[in-house]
Chains A and B, each alone.
Chain A
Amino acid sequence: DGGITQSPKYLFRKEGQNVTLSCEQNLNHDAMYWYRQDPGQGLRLIYYSQIVNDFQKGDIAEGYSVSREKKESFPLTVTSAQKNPTAFYLCASSKSGGSGANVLTFGAGSRLTVL
């Protein structure tokens, strides 16, 4: 079955460490996204990519980095520059990024806790 796989599901990090969250999809979707979800807030876009080797900053890109070397993969690195990284991170994909009926398929999420 096609879908999006995120790993790890839970991750603990010490302050000052970089961590990388994995996101892999086998849906043949062109567009991929990273969102952050905090209690009481809507999803906030970190980065998105509409095509291989290209990505754009979202609303809260500071302290994060991404790469899109393959269509299937869109890893997110949370760097030590991110001041408040404890959150639930969601990866999503869609057939294309620039159309109206752009339904997102989400991964199961990665919960990052900074100790």
Chain B
Amino acid sequence: GQNIDQPTEMTATEGAIVQINCTYQTSGFNGLFWYQQHAGEAPTFLSYNVLDGLEEKGRFSSFLSRSKGYSYLLLKELQMKDSASYLCAVMDSNYQLIWGAGTKLIIKP
């Protein structure tokens, strides 16, 4: 079966750096997405990786290793507004998105 694994919850300190991991086993691969979702709100797109390597976008970076079935989202200079759930999703060979359960990130002052 297809599976996406992420930690359920993580805690970090304001101003610090945190890395959220995502491992996947899917039928084919057509890209990996990261979305941010604040409680009770809509998910919003953060990043897309289809080739191996690091994609940097401001304070957020996303890394992909297709051979290892692994990605991470790196958040730098954490702010209180970064408290949210972070959703990892993989597009399979049929262009269907398979979603992880999300990682709830708690930022402490």
Bound-complex Cα distance A102 to B95 (A): 9
Given contacts A42-B4, A42-B101, A45-B96, contact A102 B91 (CB under 8 A): yes
| Docked-complex contact A101 and B48, CB < 8 angstroms | yes
Nearest-neighbor residue (CB-CB) of B44 within chain A? A106
| Docked-complex contact B4 and A100, CB < 8 angstroms | no
User: A20-57, CB under 8 A of B: which get 1 and which 0?
Assistant: 00000000000000000000111111000000000000
| Docked-complex contact B42 and A107, CB < 8 angstroms | yes
Chain A residues lying within 8 Å of B99, measured Cβ to Cβ, are: 42-44
Bound-complex Cα distance A18 to B26 (A): 35
Out of A98, A101, A103, A108, name the residue touching B42 (CB < 8 Å). Answer: A108
| Docked-complex contact B48 and A103, CB < 8 angstroms | yes
Count of residues in A whose CB is under 8 Å from the partner chain: 23
B78 at interface, CB cutoff 8 A: no
Bound-complex Cα distance A105 to B41 (A): 12
Chain B residues lying within 8 Å of A103, measured Cβ to Cβ, are: 33, 45, 48
| Docked-complex contact B41 and A101, CB < 8 angstroms | no
Chain B residues lying within 8 Å of A101, measured Cβ to Cβ, are: 31, 48, 50
| Docked-complex contact B41 and A42, CB < 8 angstroms | no
Out of A40, A44, A90, A100, name the residue touching B31 (CB < 8 Å). Answer: A100
Chain A residues lying within 8 Å of B48, measured Cβ to Cβ, are: 101, 103
Q: Which residues of B contact A (CB under 8 A)?
A: 4, 8, 30-31, 33, 35, 40-45, 48, 50, 87, 89, 91, 95-102
Q: Which residues of A contact B (CB under 8 A)?
A: 4, 40-45, 88, 90, 97-109, 111
Of all A-B residue pairs in the complex, the 7 with the closest CB atoms, nearest first, are: A42-B99, A106-B42, A43-B99, A100-B30, A100-B31, A42-B101, A103-B45
